[in-house]
Structure 1
Amino acid sequence: MQKLRVAVLMGGPSSEHDVSLETGKTVLRSLDADKYEAFPVVVPKERDSTIELQKDGTDVAFIAMHGEYGEDGTVQAALKELGVPYTGSGVLASALGMHKPLSSRLLRDCGLAVPDFMTVREREFKDAPEAVMAEAVRKLGLPLVVKPADRGSSVGITVAHDADQLALGIAEALRHSREAMVQCYVKGREVTCSVLEDETVPEGVRALPPTEIVPKERPFFDYHSKYTAGASEEITPPRLPTATIRAIQEVALRTHAIIGCSGMSRTDTILGADGRIYVLEINTIPGMTPTSLLPQAAEAAGIPFPELLDRIIFAALHRTGNVSQIKS
């Protein structure tokens, strides 16, 4: 039986290079060897790097990259140009999902609750930092969440309780991106919900059981909490009323559809003290490390990790009309 040739793309020039390598290694270890001939494609850290991939030797590319280049539409465009089917969302949805201010505006315009925010560009903060901070406090109040506009894994995110912390937070965010997002801090319970394409249901997609995230060592779910074993408690499904869980799943499904995602996604939300479900951001390439949230949610839904990978690959081939390549 001929196996499906799967190139697992990992690494890349983003600040999430090491996380991507872990994701890629996990995927390589977990793909069913009876079905797939999987091989790694490690993209270097250099920003002018190119993908060494031959169309004739690859049936599908499994994108295990995070952050800029891997999650922002760049590698998706390169693979599209090569004619290689790839996992996850297309070019536009990837770019939109990666840029938090743009996706937040779109979600807000479509009627979803999003914390109030403003954007700060590198040049305007350099030219008039005091004016920028005064405007942020006047418009949004304190405390504030500050994050790079287009980075993932909570890289460069801080919480500011006063002007000094706000200045440091904006500077830190701009160290990772040319634009910072300054957002109202919404007090509540952090809940994330993954969406997975599923051809067995009429809608074609299903929301997996949500997960409540309770950081143990930090005040919020930052990079350390995400990738350090034991640094956070993840409760799947959360201890919430059934109606609330369903509402969170509906928000995740709507977010997935509005952004135009394919294959899978994970939407991070806050269940506010006012009872509203606020969308923080969407992840078009959720992590696949041992501590990652999508695999945990799939497991809770009765989908073992190897089967989850099967479904993601099937969705990629289905989207490009290459389902006939699947070897059964």
Structure 2
Amino acid sequence: MKKKKIVVLMGGPSSEHEVSLHTGMEVIKNLAAKKYEILPVVILRNRAWMFLPSRSFLSSAGAKTAPMKGGVTMRETSALEKVRREKSDITFLAVHGEFGEDGTIQKLLQAHGIPYTGSGVFASAVGMDKPKSAVLFREAGLSVPEFLVFSRNSWRSTPDRIIRAIAKKFSPSCVIKPADRGSSVGVHIVKVGRELRAALTDAFSYSHSVMAQEFVRGREITCGVLERADGSIFSLPPIEIIPKKGAYYDYASKYHKGGSEHVIPPRGIPKKTISAIQDASVAAHAVIGCGGYSRTDFILSEDGKLHTLEINTLPGMTQTSLLPEAARTAGIRFPDLLDSILIGSLRRAA
């Protein structure tokens, strides 16, 4: 059987560059060599593209950083033309954060006729935009904590008015977060008062738009969704995330060793509630229009109500990432998970 030619695209200009490299490395190491011909491509922080020999990745088992020797660097437009000329079967997207998850790279690839894994331009853009996705979640019948959205320009001109509006709606505590960033970058849970100004200033340093949201005390739950070869979707077992590094699942809890405990299935939650979480993850995936796979984050409050927070249209794909961990619990090995994603993507691209 002829091998499928797969471009694995990783890196990017966002704050999640290193996380993305880790995803790309793990994907390459776990794609079966007898099935796939692999072309690793790293998008550098300046948006230049580096084409690397696959053998350097395949021989780097255990390495903590991507091997960057022997690569050929090109400007973005020339690189896209090269990928198109390679006539690869599919591009596996391992680019996290803005540029990778907000529809930017999807739009570039689509404009050049290059098929790729994961969600399309619209779903990626809406999924990354927390206020817009929250509106769609509500339209799908999902419960979403109350929120307000403010622009950087309004923060610069009338910061006191914004602080008063947040204090009036969310006292005593709220969540402050950039409206279009991932990996909990710039996210703060604060008491409305002295901490609020500093939290807003930090959040606005990452984005032109910031979301202030009701703080719901409860258990942090996430649930992944996968697409079958026939295009139907199903939910994976939910995971409870118990942060160890901070008060919530922040950047350190996500990416530092021992930062969090993942419990599959969550302890002491009735089967009816587990089913409700799974149904909500499928509903979120569908209403955003995701393709291939996604992961939705929830808070299960102390009164048993499920609150939908946000969706990740391009979840981390290392063996210890949440979606692969849930898949493994469901009996899907990591290489088989990658096969499933590629098969579904090839079907959609046909």
Q: What is the rounded CA distance, in whole Å, between the counterparts of 1:194 and 1:82 in structure 2?
A: 30
Q: Which residue of 2 aligns with 1:20?
A: 20
Question: Are 1:208 and 2:236 counterparts?
Answer: yes
1:235 paired residue among 263, 266, 270: 263
Find the aligned partners of 2:318 and 2:251 in 1 and give their Cα distance: 13
Aligned to 2:273, what secondary structure does the other structure show?
A: helix
Q: Say if 2:140 and 2:284, in contact at 8 Å, map to a contact too.
A: no
Indicate the residue corresponding to 1:147 in structure 2. Answer: 177
Match of 1:260 in 2: 289
Q: What's the CA shift for 1:291?
A: 2.8
Are 1:178 and 2:204 an aligned pair? no
Task: Quote how far apart the aligned CAs of 1:47 are.
Answer: 5.0
Specify the alignment match of 2:58 in structure 1: none
Q: Report the Cα distance in structure 2 between the residues aligned to 1:291 and 1:32, rounded to whole angstroms.
A: 19
* Amino acid across the alignment from 1:29: K
For residue 72 of structure 2, what is the aligned residue in structure 1? Answer: none
Among 217, 221, 225, the alignment partner of 2:245 is 217
| SS of the residue 2:76 aligns to | coil
Structure 1: runs of 5+ lacking an equivalent: 322-328
Code of the aligned partner of 2:338: L
SS at match of 1:316: helix
SS in 2 for 1:8: strand
The answer to whether residue 36 in structure 2 is matched with residue 7 in structure 1 is no
Q: 1:50 pairs with 63, 72, 76, which one? A: 76
- Report deviation, 1:142: 2.4
Alignment size in residue pairs: 319
Cα displacement string for residues 14-64 of structure 1 (whole angstroms, at most 9, x for unaligned residues): 111111011111111111111011121101112586262422421100000
Task: Verify the 8 A CA contact 2:171 2:191 in the aligned structure 1.
Answer: no
C-alpha contact 1:114 1:280 (8 A) present in aligned 2: yes
Of 271, 292, 298, 2:321 maps to: 292
Q: Distance in 2 between matches of 1:107 and 1:142?
A: 26
Q: Corresponding residue for 1:81?
A: 111
**Structure 1 letter corresponding to 2:248:** F
Q: Which of 151, 164, 167 in structure 2 is aligned with 1:134? A: 164
| 1:122 aligns with one of 152, 177, 180 | 152
TM-score between both structures, scaled by the size of structure 2: 0.89
Contact 2:170 2:192 in 1 (8 A): no
| Cα contact 1:143–1:159 (8 A) shared by 2 | yes
Q: RMSD of the alignment, in Å?
A: 1.3
Q: Secondary structure at the match of 1:2?
A: coil
Q: What is the aligned-residue identity percentage?
A: 49
In structure 2, what is the Cα distance between the partners aligned to 1:311 and 1:82? 25
User: What is the CA-CA distance between 1:78 and the residue it aligns to?
Assistant: 1.1
Match of 1:176, SS state, is coil
Secondary structure of 1:233 counterpart: strand
1:211 and 1:297 in contact (8 A); partners too = yes
Q: Does 1:246 align with 2:272?
A: no
2:128 to 93, 98, 106: 98
Partner of 1:192: 222
8 A contact 2:319–2:334 mirrored in 1: no
2:189 aligned residue = 159
Q: Helix, strand or coil for the counterpart of 1:54?
A: helix
What secondary structure does 2:175 align onto?
A: strand
With structure 1 as the length reference, what TM-score do the two structures score? 0.94
Partner of 1:61: 91
Q: What residue number does 2:254 align with?
A: 226
1:199/1:205 contact within 8 Å kept? no
Q: Is the deviation greater in 47-56 or in 70-79? A: 47-56
- Bigger mean CA deviation after superposition, 54-63 or 148-157: 54-63
CA distance in 2, matches of 1:289, 1:144: 32
5+ residue gaps, structure 2:
49-74
On the 8 A contact 1:149/1:177 being kept in 2, the answer is yes
Distance 1:229 1:218 in 2: 13
1:81 maps to amino acid: A
